[in-house]
Chain A
Amino acid sequence: MTRLFISRDSTALSLGAELVVNAAQGHAAAKGLNIEIIRNGSRGLYWLEPLIEIETAKGRVAYGPVQPEEVAELFDKGLLEGAEHPLFLGNIEELPYFKNQNRLTFARVGLIDPIDISEYQAHGGYRGLKNALALEPAAIVKHVSDSGLRGRGGAAFPTGIKWNTVLNAPADQKYIVCNADEGDSGTFSDRMIMEGDPFVLIEGMTIAGLAVGATQGYIYLRVEYPHAYTTLNQAIESAYQHQFLGENIQNSGKTFHLEVRRGAGAYICGEETSLLESLEGKRGLVRFKPPLPAIVGLFGKPTIVNNVISLASVPIILDKGGEYYRDFGMGRSRGTLPLQLAGNIKHPGLFEAAFGMTLRELLYDYGGGSASGRPIRAVQVGGPLGAYLHESQFDTPLDYEAFAAISAVLGHGGIVVHDDTVDMAQMARYAMEFCVEESCGKCTPCRIGSTRGVEVIDKIINNEQKNQNAVLLRDLCNTMVSGSLCAMGGMTPIPVLSSLNHFPEDFDLETNQV
């Protein structure tokens, strides 16, 4: 029996992985070959998907990208033995793109069958939980504090401080909520974890529950991720069967229940208080803070709200200790960040690296430049509310503080590349338009300011009192920043102003500081 790996990851499926599986099964049946196809997550080297990996006598080797019609020929030429072929890639882990990563959170993604709990354990899974079960709650929180982990959803708030607040909030019921409403364009690391290694998220949430005394968890998953929904539910069911969820986890007497809830296509529900409203069955209107969700959260109870990657980083911290994780990174950005290369880039994918490498290294050494072959002109980092960076800023190290120093955000680590055909005035307009579409409507500067923003940018584009309208646009942005409760209205000006400041020629403005 030869084991093959073909991914069940959404992006691999979007390129025809299912058809490749069908072709391989059909061919093997016709030729009487004894094969087993494991549906793994993706290794994250997406330009090579659909990828086939095979366990051969020479080790695990890969071929890609494989089109369904090429499958029969690959088999005939000795794919099962790892024979040479133009699509032969050798051991995928030896490619520089993979080898030079620091895969801590993504250690198992693409390697194993994501819903096989015994494989998860065989590759280091549930060691963190085992350690946590032997610790006092405060000691678990201390490990997380020592690791220097900061919220990977984008806000970069120290996870240990949040957990400590919930730990010290007395209540009869507390909750762990995973924010899996990954709505930023250019981001897919949450999806890859949920589809490729869901147990690491389940384990992280269980540890969080033990740490603060919460017995119920919810994963708030965006409805745009149907495959992640399936994988998560399969993994949760298996975790219950194996006593890793439910009452009396691993005979410890501890309880943790977990349930997936679907969002319904509202970007704002990625904002934590809006998410809580949505989980409670209401419109996703942003709440005032304080009180913090850590004190008054879901159903009015103390609640940890953490991003998928934050929670999925917890098992390795509890397995190897806070110091191990903290030893990666630079400055106050400790550990690793799963970066996501997207848009117009030759080698798109997931690149988990310690903080500190420069954007330029990532874009050119690993990303290989633009997909179109044209010069890269603008790069948006950190989602639709992140700044557009100009080529002169590409040497900025990927670090929270270094990005803040150039009025940019690292956010969730999404990087969207645009070549020189991009019209930055249109991108600025789009940023306002997106805010019109997705504002929850609570704050006037966000709800109405975004509509006025579209109009003012249109006037600039149409050459109506251009300079005066540029002044007006800056004033409007200032109002949105100062007068909005959350990041939707408060950060929409970032892509707008960075376009205006770094690419004034696209607005046909003579100077960039009117």
Chain B
Amino acid sequence: MPDYQTQKPTVLEILKNLETLPGNLLPILHEIQDTLGYIPPDAVADIAKFLHLSQAEVHGVITFYHYFRDTPPGKNTIHICRAESCQAMGGKALEDHAKQKLNIDFHETSADNLFSLEKVYCLGNCACSPAITINNEVFGRVTVEKFDQLIATYKEAQQ
């Protein structure tokens, strides 16, 4: 994990920029995760101090929401939808295949650090299930073959 001291100025700047926004904790956490890729555990103390909250409160918010993470993600993050519509179109088989292909479970990152795998409940792409996202891109009607193609494409782009 990167040294927090190198990230701290970024965190403090985000806090300062969003200081006057009402209900600003979620926007702050989003901004930190957008910028650093995750919310460094050491940032909790700085956030809490700045917002006059206890560290427990900030930690509680971070852990309540599935989207926030406290470890750095791989180069690409894959979200696989587990909801009913995708199940009706073979989502479970896709999920099993993805875990096997990347050799990881949900909330893990592949050994080459290229892919993190996360589950999600609905991407709003239910008209073309099963659906996944890779980073901010949505893919519909994802068969096992299409998944493998996508993985190959993203691997290639990395080289």
Contact = CB atoms under 8 A, between A and B. Distances in A.
A342 B65 contact: no
Contact of A185 (B79, B84, B128): B84
Nearest to A348: B127
Interface in A47-61: 49
A176 to B, nearest CB: 14
B94 interface: no
Contacts of A185: 83-86, 121-122, 126
B128 A14 contact: yes
B68 interface: yes
A128 to B, nearest CB: 26
B64 A343 contact: no
B67 A14 contact: no
Contact of A224 (B22, B24, B124): B124
A266 B137 CA distance: 20
A278 B67 CA distance: 13
Contacts of B22: 299
Contacts of B159: none
A265 B65 contact: yes
Given A15-B140, A183-B121, A264-B30, A416 B126 contact: yes
A343 B23 contact: no
- Which of A184, A265, A342 has the most chain B CB atoms inside 10 A of its CB? A342
Interface string A260-294: 01111111000000000011111110000000000
Contact of A281 (B24, B66, B122): B24
B132 to A, nearest CB: 9
B36 interface: no
Interface residues of A, number: 58
Interface stretch (A73-81, A186-194, A237-245, A465-473): A186-194
Given A264-B68, A284-B64, A11 B127 contact: yes
A284 B25 CA distance: 12
A356 interface: no
A261 B26 contact: yes
A46 B127 contact: yes
A188 B60 CA distance: 30
Contacts, number: 148
Contact of B126 (A278, A340, A430, A437): A340
A185 B67 CA distance: 18
B141 interface: yes
Contacts of B122: 182-185, 187, 224
Nearest to B25: A281
Interface string B121-151: 1111111110101001111110000000000
B88 A262 contact: no
B121 A434 contact: yes
Interface in A35-53: 46, 49
A336 interface: no
A187 B84 contact: no
Nearest to A438: B121
B77 interface: no
Interface string B11-24: 00000000000111
Contacts of B141: 14-15
Interface in B74-103: 79, 83-89
B120 interface: yes
A46 B85 CA distance: 15
Interface string A475-495: 000000000000000000000
A264 B140 contact: no
B29 interface: yes
Interface stretch (A309-317, A327-335, A392-400, A417-425): A417-425
Contacts of B25: 281-282
Nearest to B79: A224
Contacts of A267: 121
A344 B23 contact: no
Contacts of B61: 281-283
Given A266-B65, A343-B129, A427-B84, A182 B26 contact: no
B67 A342 contact: no
A280 B21 CA distance: 10
A264 B26 contact: yes
Contacts of A97: none
Given A13-B138, A261-B26, A416-B85, A266 B66 contact: yes
A380 interface: yes
B75 to A, nearest CB: 18
- Which of B83, B127, B140 has the most chain A CB atoms inside 10 A of its CB? B127
Interface in A362-415: 371, 380, 384, 414
Given A224-B79, A265-B67, 12 more contacts: A10-B123, A15-B140, A49-B128, A183-B122, A186-B85, A224-B124, A225-B124, A262-B26, A265-B66, A344-B89, A427-B87, A440-B64
29 contacts: A10-B123, A14-B125, A46-B128, A183-B122, A185-B84, A185-B122, A188-B126, A191-B124, A227-B138, A261-B27, A262-B26, A262-B30, A263-B26, A266-B64, A279-B26, A281-B25, A281-B61, A283-B61, A284-B65, A342-B85, A343-B85, A343-B88, A343-B89, A349-B127, A380-B84, A384-B83, A414-B126, A416-B85, A438-B121
Which 9 A/B pairs are nearest by Cβ-Cβ distance?
A281-B25, A185-B83, A265-B67, A264-B65, A14-B140, A342-B126, A348-B127, A343-B88, A265-B66
